[in-house]
Amino acid sequence: MGILNVLIVVCLIYVAILFGVAFMAERAAAQGRGGWLRSPFVYTLSLSIYCTAWTFYGAVGYAARSGLEYLTIYLGPTLVMIGWWWVLRKLVRIGRSQRITSVADLVSSRYGKSNTLAVVATLVAVIGTTPYIALQLQSVTLSFSSFAGAEAIEQPFGDRNSMALWVAVGLAFFTILFGTRNLDANERHHGVVMAIALEAVVKLVALMAVGVFVVWGLAGGVEEILAKIDASAIGSFSPHSGRWAALTFLSAAAFLTLPRMFQVMVVENEDERHLRTASWAFPTYLMMMSLFVVPIAAVGLELMPAGANPDLFVLTLPLSQGQEGLAMFSFLGGFSSATSMVIVATIALSTMVSNHVVMPIWLWSKGGGGAMISGDVRGVVLLARRISMAVVLALGYLYYRFSGGGAALAVIGLISFAGLAQVLPAMIGGIFWRGATRAGALSGLAVGFLVWLFCLLLPSFGDGNILSAATFRDGLWGIGWLRPHALFGIAGLDPLVHAVMWSMSLNTILFVVVSLMTFPSPLERLQGAQFVNVFQHSMATQGWSGGVAQAEDLMVMAQRILGPVEAQEFFLDEVRRQGLAGYLPEPTSEFLQRLERELSGSVGSATAHAMVAQIMGRATVSVDDLLKVADETAQMMEYQNQLEAKSDELTRTARQLRAVNEKLTQLSVQKDAFLSQISHELRTPMTSIRAFSEILRDTDELGEEALRKYAGIIHNEAIRLTRLLDDLLDLSVLENGQVSLNLREGLLSDVIDQAVAATGAGGGTLRIRRTQSGEAVLLNTDLDRLAQVFINLIANAQKYCDAARPELTITAKERDGLLVVDFVDNGTGIPREAQSLIFEKFARVSDHKAGGAGLGLAICREIMARLGGGITYLPGQGGAAFRVTLRPSLRAAD
Amino acid sequence: MRDAARMLPLLGAVLWMLPLLFGMDGENPKTSEAMLYVFGVWVVMAIAALGLSLRLETEPGPGDEASLEDEEAA
């Protein structure tokens, strides 16, 4: 009874000292005097949270049972640590740039801020850590009872179980006091880290003190202890090769995925360069922790009675030798190991639970406006954390109760390791492989976790407790290949190796296969690129499409989470940064990103994302964002595409240039042809005028009749020449667009009447048939020019219609909002091959019927183009048929 | 140097898997010998890591010291 009280008092004093250290460290940090808090050695010592009561008590027990195999538990982390350049550096950088708060947060944030994934990862972490916490309870309870004697415990507490309960309650109280005093903006707990560093020193010194006592005090020196080791039951080194490799891998994996390790290694990291120091200092620490384990085990096996629990040699060996002081120190070392683990693990787990389970539920229960509802969210977060801490410890206690509290510490610890390591594929895949998707991570994690549950955790409760003995023998539901220790019929493996192998391989295979088969969402791709290429671009590029003035709502929300003072400072700072006056900054995309990151430090990325989304609406991932993070291949392809586009453009330009060149050449040819044509056209009448004028000049004896005839010819040719020149002039004016239209209103019938009269067709051989009804259309156009066109068409019919009784039908009608006037004669028409040429200059269908210079239809076409209409040849009407179309700008039926 | 930093853990893994081959001739070695070997490798690893950490060029991350102050002042 007396010794128990002393123990309790010592523990309380020790805890008080720890608390004092934590308090001072926090105050120093708050006052900005915490330079020494940021020493890389504090960081290294805080990593020693890896060495729990399992190391302190369990390693010796493990060594006493299985020889050197316990070393694998420390070799794995050593490998990870000296390989910091591979993984840890990246993890820490990601953790800092994305404000990651936990393992679950990391995984969730990587896979598109998925809360489902966060919940699953949280579940895995909580269930996986439970045996571990039970281990600490068991070791503290054991150490109490072995120190004070079992009877002394049972008097005040009833039995060992209620002793463990009291330990759990005490630890819960202590953790809540430590871990939730404030809600740090970035989840750093200077005080806790400092306390852990102190505890790290205590447990190392305690273990080494016992070791030194054993080696030099009991064995008598190094030579002697080595001889004793070889002479003991563990003197022969015969490692189980499967377990040796599997355990090294498992401990390396657990080192990365243990929630408490992630907490101290990534979340509490002050400076990436601390890793540099830790890369050699932490392996040294681990080496020193494991150095005396085998000597203690060997000497314990030799000196202690046969039935003694080897897990407690560290404590019972000094006790049995009458070294009360050393035993007390050793007890404190074990107590340190247990408390520091429980504190950090529960802090880490409660962060996960409150961020990923409680907060989303709370937000959801508050409906759409949850983020803006009055009431301090910080209170809710803190309460959620406190409750989750208590729950986590309660789970640990329950596991302790139901697993019987009898298993060796190392066995419990390994079960825990194997469960937590299930996050590894999603984590490593997430930071190295951009193709990893949410569905892949989710399915791998879930399956690995279930296999672990079935093969390792449930069997750990013992035959017939949760899984029946029949299940062990015949498999689940009697299916032979579902036996917990012989999945798929592969029996004979060590249960741990068996479970690790199946859970990890199925986990990894599913993760990879499902990732390959599914397609990541834009946000996932963005986050994936940022995680994988964290060293290339450490900026957050997730774009909120802000714009609507919701800054006030944001302010309200930020105050609830960050606290009024911090939030106002944050906003004011942003106002200054944006160069504005007042209190509310513009909700720019950058500001929203910063705010979301700030919030995620308090409530996790998924929740922060959801809260900002409640106010800002959907987050958008712009194409620019995606382009920014596109990997090299994509950039190369992009570049290549641009090159191709440029090359295409060049080809197109070259083609255009060639076409233009061809046209120019054609034009030049046309011009030459035109010139030769025109000189020919001018030359013919000139020749005849010259010839006849020469006759008139040189011939003396010309009769009256001949004189008149020759003068008439000269006159006619001169008229023809004039007409030709007129036509040419007309055409050039029309082509150059210099013509000025004389717009007038008039009836179509009048224009046709005028044309018919001008050609004198009415009384001649050509019969003209008209449909009067369609001609009663009011036009607003250049009536003279239109008449010119009609005259030309009628004259052509007069000249070229080769029917016996030539007839021209003029019909006017309206079609599709256009006025259409058709001129159809009953001759043979124009041969098909000539149809496309008739509107060209100097184009004459045949030479035998001398007519004009071949400019008439060309002029008609130009006129109609100027009038906003057109003239086309209408094939298949029985004779030559021309269609004149007009845009009737003003129409009125009579 | 970076490559050396990358290779070191692989070397360590190989060296620490070697004890599995110790007993190949049918005679298990003494625990003390294996222990000395494992701890010997451990010391070498720690010293190599120390050497590397001193020689690897320092490149501060976005949130370290100097830039951290900006960020937190902001």
pLDDT digits (tens, 9 = 90+) for A44-82: 888 888 888 888 888 888 888 888 888 888 988 998 988
pLDDT of residue A627: 53
* CB < 8 Å to A287, chain B: 39, 42-43, 46
User: Across the interface, do B9 and A82 touch by the CB < 8 Å criterion?
Assistant: yes
Query: Does the beta carbon of A93 lie under 8 angstroms from any beta carbon of chain B?
Result: yes
CA A169 to chain centre: 44
Give how far Cα A365 sits from Cα of A369, A377, A527, A727, Å.
10, 13, 28, 90
C-beta of residue A768 within 8 angstroms of C-beta of residue A760: no
Amino acid at A647: S
pLDDT of residue A408: 66
Separation of alpha carbons A655 and A674, rounded Å? 28
Q: What percent of chain A has pLDDT over 90?
A: 4
Those residues with Cβ within 8 angstroms of residue B25's Cβ, 6 or more apart along the chain or in another chain = none
Q: Judge if A2-29+40-369+377-437 and A743-886 fold alike in CATH terms.
A: no
CATH label, A2-29+40-369+377-437, candidates 3.40.640.10, 1.20.1730.10, 3.60.150.10, 3.40.50.300: 1.20.1730.10
Q: Which residue of chain B has the CA closest to A271?
A: B64
Query: Does the beta carbon of A597 lie under 8 angstroms from any beta carbon of chain B?
Result: no
* Unique residue bearing structure tokens 């013509």: A739
Fold of the domain spanning A743-886? Heat Shock Protein 90 (3.30.565)
User: What number of CA atoms fall less than 13 Å from residue A829's CA on the CB side?
Assistant: 16
Residue scoring higher pLDDT (A739 or A881)? A881
Tokens of A412: 């419990």
* CB < 8 Å to A272, chain B: 60-61, 63-64
Separation of alpha carbons A288 and A282, rounded Å? 10
Q: Where are the domains of chain A?
A: 2-29+40-369+377-437, 543-622, 632-735, 743-886
When pLDDT is averaged across residues A217-243 and rounded to a whole number, the result is 79
Give how far Cα A868 sits from Cα of A53, A372, A633, A748, Å.
99, 66, 56, 16
Interface test with A, best of B53, B70, B71 (most A CBs within 10 A): B53
Separation of alpha carbons A618 and A545, rounded Å? 8
Please work out, in degrees rounded to the nearest 5, the angle formed at the alpha carbon of residue A381 by the alpha carbons of A380 and A387: 90
Q: Which residue of chain A has the CA closest to B59?
A: A273
By C-alpha distance, which of A194, A257, A213 is closest to A18?
A: A194
Query: Does the beta carbon of A890 lie under 8 angstroms from any beta carbon of chain B?
Result: no
Separation of alpha carbons A32 and A54, rounded Å? 36
User: Across the interface, do B8 and A97 touch by the CB < 8 Å criterion?
Assistant: no
User: Across the interface, do B39 and A287 touch by the CB < 8 Å criterion?
Assistant: yes
* CB < 8 Å to B39, chain A: 287, 291
Stretch 525-544 of chain A: residues touching chain B, C-beta under 8 Å: 538-539
pLDDT above 90: residue A6: no
Separation of alpha carbons A604 and A107, rounded Å? 11
Interface test with A, best of B14, B18, B22, B32 (most A CBs within 10 A): B32
Mean pLDDT of chain A: 79
User: Across the interface, do A229 and B42 touch by the CB < 8 Å criterion?
Assistant: no
When pLDDT is averaged across residues A808-833 and rounded to a whole number, the result is 83
pLDDT above 60: residue A155: no
Residue scoring higher pLDDT (A891 or A669)? A669
* pLDDT band of A511, cuts 50, 70, 90: very high
Separation of alpha carbons A60 and A297, rounded Å? 5
Cβ-count burial A507-517 (b if 16+ within 10 Å, e if not):
bbebbbebbee
Judged on CB neighbours under 10 Å (0-12, 13-18, 19+), A291 is: middle
Those residues with Cβ within 8 angstroms of residue B23's Cβ, 6 or more apart along the chain or in another chain = A237, A238, A239, B29
Residue scoring higher pLDDT (A328 or A639)? A328
Residue of B8, B35, B61 lying closest to A82 (CB–CB): B8
* CB < 8 Å to B26, chain A: none
Relative orientation angle of helices A313-320 and A324-352, to the nearest 10 degrees: 160
Give how far Cα B52 sits from Cα of A503, A552, B6, B48, Å.
36, 51, 10, 6
> Helix (H, G, I), strand (E, B), or coil: what is residue A803?
coil
C-beta of residue A136 within 8 angstroms of C-beta of residue A338: yes
When pLDDT is averaged across residues A557-567 and rounded to a whole number, the result is 72
pLDDT above 80: residue A612: no
Identify the weakest region by mean pLDDT among A154-163, A282-291, A595-604, A722-731.
Answer: A154-163
User: Across the interface, do A294 and B39 touch by the CB < 8 Å criterion?
Assistant: no
Query: Does the beta carbon of A273 lie under 8 angstroms from any beta carbon of chain B?
Result: yes
Return the number of CB contacts < 8 Å for A and B.
127
Separation of alpha carbons A327 and A147, rounded Å? 8
Separation of alpha carbons B2 and A881, rounded Å? 89
Residue of A84, A234, A284 lying closest to B46 (CB–CB): A284
pLDDT of residue A150: 53
Residue of A272, A284, A573 lying closest to B61 (CB–CB): A272
Which residues sit opposite A822 in a β-bridge?
A811, A883
Tokens of B6: 């990358």
Amino acid at A240: H
* pLDDT band of B73, cuts 50, 70, 90: very low
When pLDDT is averaged across residues A377-399 and rounded to a whole number, the result is 83
Residue of B19, B23, B31 lying closest to A294 (CB–CB): B31
**In angstroms, what separates the C-alpha of A279 from chain B's closest C-alpha?**
6
C-beta of residue A187 within 8 angstroms of C-beta of residue A347: no
> Helix (H, G, I), strand (E, B), or coil: what is residue A113?
coil
pLDDT of residue A844: 66
End-to-end Cα distance, chain B: 36
Q: Report ipTM for this prediction.
A: 0.81
**In the CATH hierarchy, which top-level class contains the domain A632-735?**
mainly alpha
Which residues sit opposite A733 in a β-bridge?
none
